[in-house]
Structure 1
Amino acid sequence: MNFRKLCPLAAGIGLLAGPVLAGAADNGLTIGMGEELPSFDGYISTSRDGVVMTRHLFDMLIYRNPETFEFEPLLATEWSRVDDLTWEFKLREGVTFHDGSEFNADDVVWTLNHYADPESGARSQASVSWIDKVEAVDPMTVRIVSKEPFPAALEFVSGSLPIYPSDYVESVGLQEFGQAPIGTGPYKFTPGDSNSYTLTAYEGYYEGGGKGTPAIGTLTFRIIPDTATRIAELIGGGVEWIWNVPADQVAQLGTLPHLRAELGSTMRIAMIGMDAAGRANPDSPFKDERVRRAVNHAIDRDTIVANLVGGDGEVIDVPCYPAQFGCVTEAATTYEYDPEKAKALLAEAGYGEGFKVRMNSYRDRARAEAVQSYLAAVGIEADLEMLQARASFSAWREGNVDIWYGDWGSFSIGDASASTGNFFDGSTNDGARDEEIIGLVQQAATTVDEAEREALYSDVIGKITERAYWVPMHTIVMGYGYADGLNFTPNVDELPRFFLASWN
C-alpha cells in the first residue's frame, strides 16, 4: 500500500479537512476493526479482535496488571492454593451482570465446567483442557481442580477464562448468547448492523477491581476489513482509533496534526507452519524433515524483519515468545539463510525439481509475498491466498493448507504452555503430531518444580527446532493510529484497554 496514494484520495473526498467525529465532545470513541466477529463468545471467537471484545464485555476471576504483571482482584477478591491440584477463589459480593442478575458461584461453576468439556467447541483447548472440575464451596466461594498439577493455572484464569451468566445462557442457548452477550464487564453490548456494534459503559460496574471505572461512555466498533480504507477513515475522522497499521505507514500518519501514531511491542510471534503430519496432503513433502529444514534455510528472516516488520521487531529461533517462562532460547537449533543449502536438501529429499504447495496468510501481504519469493528461489512454488485472520487460522486448524504464515499472541499469557504447549499438544492447532513432543509438552504443563519444568520445555524446544516443524519468524510489532487528544497506552500484551482510555 502506498500512503502517498491515500492523501490525494482523502483530499478529494474532503477527509483532510479535519475530523468528522468529535469523540471528546460526546465522550465516545469510534474504533476501526478489521475482523467481523461470528460470535461474542470469548471461548469461540479467539482472534485478537475477539479477545479485545472479551476483555470489555466480560470479567475473569482475576486481573493481570499490564504494567506490573501482578495479579489483582476482579470477580474474585482472594485466592489461595489448597493443594497441588486445587485453587480456591473467594468471589466479590454485590456484582451484577448487565441484565441486573446477581453473580455468584453457580456462574463460575457452569461456565468453566462447560468449556472444559472437549465437546464444547472451545477454540483454544490449551486454555481449558487442564481443568478437571469446578465446584462451589458456598454461594461465594469456588474451587478449580486441575487434572494434574498445573503451575500456569493463574495465568489462564486471568487471561482466557471469562465468566458467563449461567441462567441466561441456559435460557437462550449459547448460539443466541454469542450474538447478544451479557457479562459483568465494564461495557455492555448494544446490537448494531452487520458492520458495526456499540458497547456502552455499564453504570452498575463494581468498584475496586483492576479494570477501574471506564471514563469513555460509548465505544462504537466499525468493521472495516481493508487496511487502506481504515487508514483513510482515520485521516478523515470516520474512526478515531485503529491498529494493525503497517510499519511504513505509522511515521507518515504521525505527521498529520490531528493524529498520533506509534509502533508498540507485543508478545505476538509469527511463524511458518508446515503440514508435517500430512493433514492437507497424505503425500505432503513436508513429512520429510529435510524438506522442512530446506524451508528454514530458504527464508531470509533478517531482511524481512529489517524491511517489513519495523520498530523493535526481532527474529526469533524458538516456537514461543522469548520472555515466556519455559521459552529456553539457547535450546533451539538455528538455521542461517542459505538458499544453496536449501536446494541441496530438497534434491537429497527427491525434490530437486521443486514442488507446488498451497499457502495462506492474513496479517501482512508484503511479508507473505516476501516468503513466497524466497520459496520460489529454491524451487517451491507457493500458491498464496490472503485471508482474514479467522479463515486463515481455521484452514490451518482444519488441516486444509500445506504451509501457513500465521502468528499467535498466546492470549498474552506469559508461559510457554500458551504457545509451544498450544501448537504441539496433539490438538487441531498441531501440524506436527509428534507423539514424543506431545508427551513432553503434557509433562511440562503438569510439572510443579520450576527447574524441572524449564528443563522439559528446553527438551521440547530442542526437538521442535531440530526436527524443523516450524520456521520461527519474528516478533510482531503493532502499529496504532488514533486521534490526538485520546489518552491511550499500548501494552506489550497487545490488549488495548479502552476502559483505561480517556479524552483530554
Structure 2
Amino acid sequence: MSIPRTGRRPLRFAALGAAALAAALALSACSGSPEAAPSASAGSVAEKDLAIAAVSGPNSLDPAQLVDGQQQFVWSSILDTLLAKENNTGELIPNAAESWQYNEDGTELTLTLREGMTFSTGDPVNADAVVATMLRNKNTPGVVQVKYGAVTDVTAEDDLTVKVTFSSFDPQFLSNLTGGAGAIGDPATLDDERTATDPVGSGPFTLDVAKTVPGSTYVLTKRDDYWNADAIPFKTFTVRVLQDPTASFNALQAGEINAATVQTQLLGQLGDEYAIQQIDAQAVAYLDILDRGGEKWPALGDERVRQALNYAIDREGVLKGIFSGVGMVTEQIFSPYGQVYDESLNETYDYDPEKGKELVEEAGYAGETFQIPSTFLSTSLEPTLTQAFADVGLTLEWVPVPPQQAQSAHLSGDYPLSFQFTGFNSDPADAASHYGASGYANPRGYTDDTIDELFGTINSTVDTEAALPAYQELNAYAVEQAFEVPIVFVGATWAGRDGIVMVDDGRSSVPTVRLFGVSE
C-alpha cells in the first residue's frame, strides 16, 4: 500500500483585522490546541517593508551548507524549500513540491513539483534542478550531507516528478525538506563562487548585494514573478543580526526594525502601537548526560544517579528566576506541540533534592565530581546547576570553552555532561537526535535492547500514526531512565510595530518570513 500525502493549500500570510489580531495574540501553547485566527487574502493589504532582528546570520547560502534555525530567515527567502510547515499547527504542507508519496516500505519517495515555478533568472524550476541539488547535497561534505545519509539515488521521472531512493526508510526526511535539506539551487550556477554569498534561487526574494553587509545586515527584495507572490505582503525584508537583546530593543524603539523578540522586563516600555505575541515554547533547555552507559564515568551509567539529577532541579524556580516566566517547565524533550509529548510525564521528578541525595548515596557515588563545558549557552544557569549537584551530594566543575568550540566540546568525549538549548524539529528528528545511536545529543552512541526494539519499529513503519505508540513508549522510557535532564521549554515574546504582527504561535518551528503578517 502506498501512502500519498498532499497538503490542503499553498502557504498564505494572514492579514489580520483588529478582532482577529487580538485573538491571535492571545494564543497560548499551554492551553491545548487553540483555534487559528481567521485569515484573508494578503493581496488586499498594502505591501510593507519588514525589518527584523535575528541572533545569527547565515554561515553560507550554499544549499549544501545551510544551517536551520534563525539563519533560515535569510536563506529561505532566496531559496525555496520543497515542503513547508503551516503556521499554528506545524503540519507539513506543500511548497515547491505540491504532493508527495512513499512506497509501501518507505524506500522510495515520489515528489511532484509545482508547475510554472522559476528561478530569479527566469529559468524553470524542474525535476532536473531538484535532482542536481539533492545529489550535490548527498556528495558534498557539509551541514546538509548527514541528512542524506539514507539516500542512495535521486532521479527525474519526468519534468515535474522526482524519485528519491533510500537504503531504508528515513522517518526524518520529509520534515528535513522544510529546512536546508529541501532547498532548491539553480543547477546552472550551483558550483559558481557566488553560490555561497549570492545564490540564484526560486524563493520569494532576491538578495540586494549592494545594501547587504554579510554578518550584519541582509536586505532582500521581493520577486513579483514569484509563484506565490500574492501571499507575500512585504516589498523588502531586512534581517539585522543583533545578538545583544538591548541593542535589538533599542533598534525596535528607534524604528530601525519593526519586529524583534523582547525581554519580559522591557515589555512595559512599549506602547499600545506594538503588537505583542508570546510564544510559550520554541526550544528545550536541558542538561545532556553524554555517558549514559557509564563507560568513562561509571556513576552516570547508574540510573539512580541520573534520576537524582532530575530530582535536583527546581524547574519552576529556573523558569521564573532565569527566564522571567516565559516558557514552560518540562521533564521531557519532545515538543509540547507534537504528538509524542505526554503531560503526565512531567509528574515524574518533582523537585526533591533530599530524595536525589538518597539515590546518590544508595548508588555509592556520593562526592563524585563531574567536569562540564562552560559555554555561552550555560553561563546564566551555572550557579543554579552547581548548587543542584551539591544538594544531592555531587560536585560540578565548569571548564571554560570558547564559543566556537562549544559544539566540538560537546561531541569530543572529554566531558560526561553538557548544557544545551535545542530548537524543536519534528518528533522523528527529535527522537533520532536525542536517543538515536548517531544523534547529536547522544555522541557516545548509547543504546540498549529497549531502544533498539523501539527504533526498529519506528524505522520500519512508514505510516506516522502507526509508529506513534513506539515514539510515545520511547519518550516514557527515556524519562524513566533519565537519559537527560530536561529543565524548561524556552519561550519568547515578539513585538511588532508599524502594522507588523507575528502570525504564528511557535508551532511551525521554522524561522522564515512566513511567520509575519500585516494588520489592516
TM bin (shorter chain)? 0.7 to 0.9
Q: Which amino acid aligns with 1:179?
A: T
- State the alpha-carbon separation in 2 of the partners of residues 299 and 323 from structure 1: 24
**Aligned residues of 1:34 and 1:224 also touching (Cα < 8 A):** yes
**Counterpart pick for 1:473 among 487, 493, 510:** 487
Q: Which amino acid aligns with 1:140?
A: L
Find the counterpart in structure 2 of residue 483 from structure 1. Answer: 497
Find the counterpart in structure 2 of residue 88 from structure 1. Answer: 110
1:76 and 2:97 correspond:
yes
Unaligned runs of 5+ in 1: 1-23
**Counterpart pick for 1:49 among 50, 54, 70:** 70
**Aligned residues of 2:277 and 2:505 also touching (Cα < 8 A):** no
Find the counterpart in structure 1 of residue 42 from structure 2. Answer: none
Q: Report SS of the residue matched to 1:265.
A: strand
**Counterpart pick for 2:513 among 498, 501, 504:** 498
Find the counterpart in structure 2 of residue 316 from structure 1. Answer: 330
Unaligned runs of 5+ in 2: 1-44
Distance 1:80 1:495, change over 3 A: closer
1:423 and 2:434 correspond:
yes
- State the alpha-carbon separation in 2 of the partners of residues 247 and 371 from structure 1: 23
**Aligned residues of 1:59 and 1:185 also touching (Cα < 8 A):** yes
**Aligned residues of 1:130 and 1:147 also touching (Cα < 8 A):** yes
Find the counterpart in structure 1 of residue 87 from structure 2. Answer: 66
Q: What's the Cα RMSD here?
A: 3.6
**Counterpart pick for 2:462 among 421, 434, 448:** 448
Q: CA deviation at 1:132?
A: 3.4
1:114 and 2:136 correspond:
yes
Find the counterpart in structure 2 of residue 270 from structure 1. Answer: 285
Once structures 1 and 2 are overlaid, which stretch shifts more, 60-69 or 218-227? 60-69
Distance 1:25 1:465, change over 3 A: closer
- State the alpha-carbon separation in 2 of the partners of residues 450 and 29 from structure 1: 37
Distance 1:476 1:370, change over 3 A: same
Pairing of 1:92-491 with structure 2 (within 5 A): 92-116=114-138, 120-122=141-143, 125=146, 127-150=147-170, 153-160=173-180, 161-172=182-193, 177-191=195-209, 192-207=212-227, 209=228, 212-243=230-261, 245-249=262-266, 251-254=267-270, 256-276=271-291, 282-283=296-297, 285-309=299-323, 313-327=327-341, 334-360=348-374, 362=376, 365-367=379-381, 369-378=383-392, 379-383=394-398, 392-399=406-413, 401-411=415-425, 413=426, 416-427=427-438, 429=440, 430-431=442-443, 433-436=445-448, 437=451, 440-441=454-455, 443-448=457-462, 453-491=467-505
- State the alpha-carbon separation in 2 of the partners of residues 284 and 483 from structure 1: 54
Q: Which amino acid aligns with 1:303?
A: G
Q: Which amino acid aligns with 1:252?
A: G
Q: Report SS of the residue matched to 1:167.
A: coil
**Aligned residues of 1:276 and 1:432 also touching (Cα < 8 A):** yes
- State the alpha-carbon separation in 2 of the partners of residues 452 and 462 from structure 1: 17
* TM-score for both structures, normalised by structure 2: 0.77
- State the alpha-carbon separation in 1 of the partners of residues 297 and 110 from structure 2: 50
Find the counterpart in structure 1 of residue 21 from structure 2. Answer: none
Q: CA deviation at 1:150?
A: 4.8
- State the alpha-carbon separation in 2 of the partners of residues 328 and 26 from structure 1: 42
**Aligned residues of 1:365 and 1:386 also touching (Cα < 8 A):** no
Q: CA deviation at 1:130?
A: 4.1
- State the alpha-carbon separation in 2 of the partners of residues 40 and 197 from structure 1: 14
Q: Report SS of the residue matched to 1:120.
A: coil
**Aligned residues of 1:347 and 1:353 also touching (Cα < 8 A):** no
- State the alpha-carbon separation in 2 of the partners of residues 503 and 327 from structure 1: 33
- State the alpha-carbon separation in 2 of the partners of residues 428 and 137 from structure 1: 33
Q: Report SS of the residue matched to 1:170.
A: coil
* TM-score for both structures, normalised by structure 1: 0.79
Distance 1:205 1:217, change over 3 A: same
- State the alpha-carbon separation in 1 of the partners of residues 445 and 453 from structure 2: 11
Distance 1:156 1:348, change over 3 A: same
Q: CA deviation at 1:133?
A: 2.5
Q: Which amino acid aligns with 2:109?
A: W
Aligned residues: 466
Q: Which amino acid aligns with 2:437?
A: G
Cα shift readout 1:12-57 (whole Å, capped 9, x = no counterpart): xxxxxxxxxxxx9994333222224322346644352123334322
- State the alpha-carbon separation in 2 of the partners of residues 322 and 258 from structure 1: 31
Once structures 1 and 2 are overlaid, which stretch shifts more, 460-469 or 416-425? 460-469
- State the alpha-carbon separation in 2 of the partners of residues 262 and 213 from structure 1: 21
**Aligned residues of 1:46 and 1:124 also touching (Cα < 8 A):** no
Find the counterpart in structure 1 of residue 56 from structure 2. Answer: 35
Cα shift readout 1:43-85 (whole Å, capped 9, x = no counterpart): 6443521233343222122333214555544222343445443
